[in-house]
Amino acid sequence: MPLEESMGVYDQLIAPGGHNRGGISMVDIPYEEIAGVPPAEVPDVELYHPRSWWTRYVFSQDAKVIAVQYALTASAIGLVALVLSWLMRLQLGFPGTFSFIDPNQYLQLITMHGMIMVIYLLTALFLGGFGNYLIPLMVGARDMVFPYVNMLSYWVYLLAVLVLASSFFAPGGPTGAGWTLYPPQAVLSGTPGGQEWGIIVMLASLILFIIGFTMGGLNYVVTVLQARTRGMTLMRLPLTVWGIFTATVMALLAFPALFVASVMMLFDRALGTSFFMPTLVEMGQLSKYGGGSPLLFQHLFWFFGHPEVYIVALPAFGIVSDLISTHARKNIFGYRMMVWAIVAIGALSFVVWAHHMYVSGMYPYFGYFFATTTLIIAIPTAIKVYNWVLTLWKGDIHLTVPMLFALAFIITFVNGGLTGLFLGNVVVDVPLSDTMFVVAHFHMVMGVAPILVVLGGIYQWYPKVTGRMLNEVLGKFHFWVTFLGAYLIFFPMHYLGLLGVPRRYYELGEAAFIPQSAHTLNAFISVVALTVGFAQMVFLFNLAWSLFKGKPSGGNPWRATTLEWQTPETPPGHGNWGKELPVVYRWAYDYSVPGAKEDFIPQNQPPAARSVHGARP
């Protein structure tokens, strides 16, 4: 029941001064029931209590510790991918200068950089990191529903990362098939790692990652559906939880496609089956394969691959919504529409995958269908952008570091989305498909935009995790170098793509259609990429320095309404909430409510005895 209605009922039932009206008194109906808060249905859960340092910080079952473990592991492997990108840019910007980068190694750099960033960094950070930390706190739970399984999910993820990293030391090095791992070339001898250990290790790592994620994902879904505190209806959840929840459901449906594709290709490589391998001649010899379909792998991969874009984007959408509302001191515009837009994007993302396959030779009318669905999915995405802008409209905007990153995300995602409309059109996509235009688009949407949200989210919730504020001067320096630098890197790439500069080429050489300006631009992009990469060291220094020297944050430094800021302790203790779980009386966005003492009303603050204007369901 909306709070306006519940308070209207309250006013009808209880006369001023506590008198009975209509034959019903305060004793007959509990106050919390009138305020739309049902009684507890089940007793409080019993928590696992750590008995040693090892079970508290290493083999921990506390979702908050597991979240930090996910974040540290993902960041570590992400830094490896950052170094790989530097090496690629050195080769592209200054070809022939660095003799230790040969053509095979360049293809291996591309493959490992792409796979790490998309799967092992972004997915793990948003779902494993933010999901584990924020879901129990934001829904008012003591922990995840299955803490032991949650712990296992992290250790399987860590094993997947270690297996992936081991491919650098395997005979022949990691696979060089490109991050999409297309057969048949992924398992042929002409591809680095194809007939050695590289592709086997990559596929084994992916299989382990999906197993680990499935354990974690089931935890997130069940916790949101079953462990919400009293009064926390689905339509009172913060949009961060909605984004992570929907992305997790999508991942549970999409990752099995990648899982079976990885298992089948592993069989093709190790056992000699031909799921994806057609009859072909290799090095003048008829291969042992025959009858397989390379196109089948592409369908399976992209059935996972395009939902993966939104598995990363939807948590980002939710986090940005919360950052904007908090730092603009204004309730989110169109909350219900924002929720349904998240759900609609999640559903539609399963019917657009083949717009990645326009040049694969599939049936032309499929292209018409997938171009249409690609345009349709832009509608709920545009609704979210409009609602963010309308939330900012006439708000009391505070340009804090988290807010700067949130605003930068909106700009970047709109820019990347517009170039996506180009590539969603078959006629435009075919000539641009294998050019740097695709690299630029993909990085703006799937690289820069989500990373901006990750950074904004860290600046936002670091005080809750550590009890200390990050340095704002270093934060703003980090933001401006990262934001402007990212545009100096990827905006010129669109121009290179329109010139026809191909992607995945070790060296461009002397081509008549590539002017000298393209080579100069490549060198410029490489210098900026190195600069932006080193700027992330300032961020890492800020994280470490502030952990010990940062200003104490207090319990709610951003004066936010959501439950994670209302915990009795900061950082939250074991079990999050002390003896009593919070009770929720309102939605997550009561900012600048007329007549309220403060410019925010926490979700667990009971309404006054008389009607409160501005409350929402």
Q: Is residue 441 within 8 Å of 420, Cβ to Cβ?
A: yes
Q: What is the pLDDT of residue 55?
A: 82
Give a yes or no: residue 415 inside a domain: yes
Q: Write down the pLDDT at residue 29.
A: 40
Q: Is residue 17 located within the same domain as residue 81?
A: no
φ, ψ of residue 591 in degrees (nearest 5)? -110, 145
615 located within any domain: no
- Domain end: 546, 566, 586, which one? 566
Domain of residue 8: give its range.
1-39
Is residue 551 situated within a structural domain?
yes
Mean pLDDT across 69-96 = 95
pLDDT score, position 613: 44
**Are residues 296 and 257 in contact, defined by beta-carbon separation less than 8 angstroms?**
no
Same domain assignment for residues 362 and 443 = yes
Please tell me the least confidently modeled range out of 385-389, 482-486, 602-606.
Answer: 602-606
pLDDT of residue 107: 95
The set of long-range contacts for 188-191, using a CB threshold of 8 Å and a minimum separation of 24, is 188/282, 189/282, 189/283, 190/282, 190/283, 191/107
Nearest to 220 by CA among 155, 315, 302: 315
Least confident of 181-185, 512-516, 612-616: 612-616
Same structural domain for residues 192 and 96?
Answer: yes
Question: What is the rounded CA–CA span in Å between residue 184 and residue 195?
Answer: 12
The DSSP code for 229 is P
Q: What percent of the chain has pLDDT over 70?
A: 91
Are residue 262 and residue 129 in the same domain, yes or no?
yes
Q: Are residues 312 and 351 in the same domain?
A: yes
> What is the structure's pLDDT at 42?
64
Mean pLDDT of the chain: 89
Max Cα distance, the chain (Å): 97
Exposure of 447 by Cβ count < 10 A (0-12 exposed, 13-18 middle, 19+ buried)? buried
- Alpha-carbon gap, residue 25 to 21, rounded angstroms: 7
| Sign of the C-alpha dihedral computed for residues 565, 566, 571 and 575 taken in this order | negative
Structure tokens at 417: 């989305």
3-state helix, strand, coil in the chain (%, to 5): 65, 0, 35
For residues 362, 367, 368 and 371, what is the CA-based torsion angle, rounded to 10 degrees? 160
Give 468's strand partners: 552
Using CA atoms of 588, 66, 123, 337 in order, give the dihedral in degrees to the nearest 10. -10
CA 41, CA 238: separation in Å to the nearest integer? Answer: 22
Statement to judge: residues 102 and 180 lie in one domain: yes
Better pLDDT: 52 or 602: 602
Q: Give 135's pLDDT tier (boundaries 50, 70, 90).
A: very high
Q: Is residue 45 part of a domain?
A: no
Instruction: Judge if 31 and 88 occupy the same domain.
Output: no
Three-class SS state of 309: helix
* First CA to last CA distance, the chain: 7
> Which tens digit of pLDDT belongs to each residue from 579-613?
889 999 999 999 999 988 888 999 999 987 444 44
- Report pLDDT for 82: 96
Query: 155 and 29 in one domain?
Result: no
Cα–Cα distance, 589 to 591 (Å, whole number)? 6
Strand-pair partners of 591: 600
What is the rounded distance in angstroms from the CA atom of residue 425 to the CA atom of residue 568? 53
Q: Is the pLDDT of residue 9 over 50?
A: no
Across the range 113-122, mean pLDDT stands at 96
Question: What would the mean pLDDT of 32-53 be, rounded to a whole number?
Answer: 67
Which of 347, 261, 348 has the alpha carbon at shortest distance from 302? 261
What is the three-class DSSP state of 307? helix
pLDDT in tens, 343-372: 999 999 999 999 999 988 878 788 889 999
DSSP for residue 459: H
CA–CA dist 207, 228 (Å, integer): 32
Q: Give residue 283's pLDDT band: very low, low, confident or very high (50, 70, 90).
A: confident
Q: Please indicate, yes or no, if residue 589 is contained in any of the structural domains.
A: no
Average pLDDT over residues 112-134: 95
Please indicate, yes or no, if residue 47 is contained in any of the structural domains: no
Confidence of residue 193 (pLDDT cuts 50, 70, 90): confident
**26 and 144 inside one domain:** no
Asked if the model's pLDDT at residue 7 lies above 90, the reply is no
- C-alpha 5: how far from chain center: 37
User: CA-based angle 489:495:500, to the nearest 5?
Assistant: 120
Report CA dihedral (94, 95, 99, 105) to the nearest 10 degrees. 110
* 88 alpha-carbon distance from chain centroid: 25
What pLDDT band is residue 251 in, cutting at 50, 70 and 90?
very high
Residue 251 to residue 312: CA distance in whole angstroms: 10
Number of domains observed in the structure of the chain: 2
Q: Are residues 92 and 26 in the same domain?
A: no
Q: Can you tell me which residue has the tokens 């994670």?
A: 564
User: What is the tens place of the pLDDT at every residue in 301-338?
Assistant: 999 999 999 999 999 999 999 999 999 999 999 999 99
Average pLDDT for 528-544: 95
**Residue 53 pLDDT greater than 90, yes or no:** no
Quickly state the pLDDT bin for 36 (edges 50, 70, 90): low
Residue 580 forms part of a structural domain: no
Same structural domain, 2 and 75 = no
* DSSP assignment letter at 566: G
Q: Which CATH number does the domain housing residue 382 bear? A: 1.20.210.10
Residue 22 has pLDDT above 60, yes or no: no
In this predicted structure, the answer to whether residue 469 has a pLDDT above a threshold of 90 is yes
Name the DSSP letter for residue 319.
H
Angle formed by the axes of helices 449-466 and 516-549, to 10°? Answer: 10
Structure confidence at residue 210 as a pLDDT band (50, 70, 90): very high
Indicate if 124 and 35 belong to the same structural domain.
no
**Residue 144: pLDDT band by 50, 70, 90 thresholds?**
very high
Q: In the Cβ-directed half-sphere of 346, how many Cα atoms lie within 13 Å?
A: 25
How many other C-beta atoms are found inside a 10 Å radius of the C-beta of residue 44? Answer: 12
3-state secondary structure of 600: strand
Tokens of 215: 């354990």
The yes-or-no verdict on residue 185 having pLDDT over 80 is yes
Residue for token digits 């083999």? 59
Task: Give me the helices (H) in 141-238, please.
Answer: 147-166, 198-226
145: tokens are 């529903």
Is 542 contained in some domain? yes
